[in-house]
Amino acid sequence: MDAYSVATMTYRVAAKPTAQGWDLKVGGVGRTTCSNLGEVESAARAYVVRMTGMPPERVLIEIARP
């Protein structure tokens, strides 16, 4: 299967501040962390790619702060 046959997917990310940075709960995938708010989208995308094998250009990230 090539990258162009994979549908674009949107993943909702709940970003919660912690003493060490940000806790990211990626819907349907799991949890990861990042150091600052500016890294939330890229960290979440990298996590989804690593866990699902989806091409990065097919991963859309929707960020929600509780």
Q: Please give the full DSSP string across 52-63, using - where no structure is assigned.
A: H---GGGEEEEE
CA 10, CA 36: separation in Å to the nearest integer? 22
More confident residue, 11 or 2: 11
9-32 per-position pLDDT tens digit: 999 999 999 999 999 999 999 999
pLDDT recorded at residue 65: 72
Residue % of the chain over a pLDDT of 70:
89
CA 13, CA 61: separation in Å to the nearest integer? 7
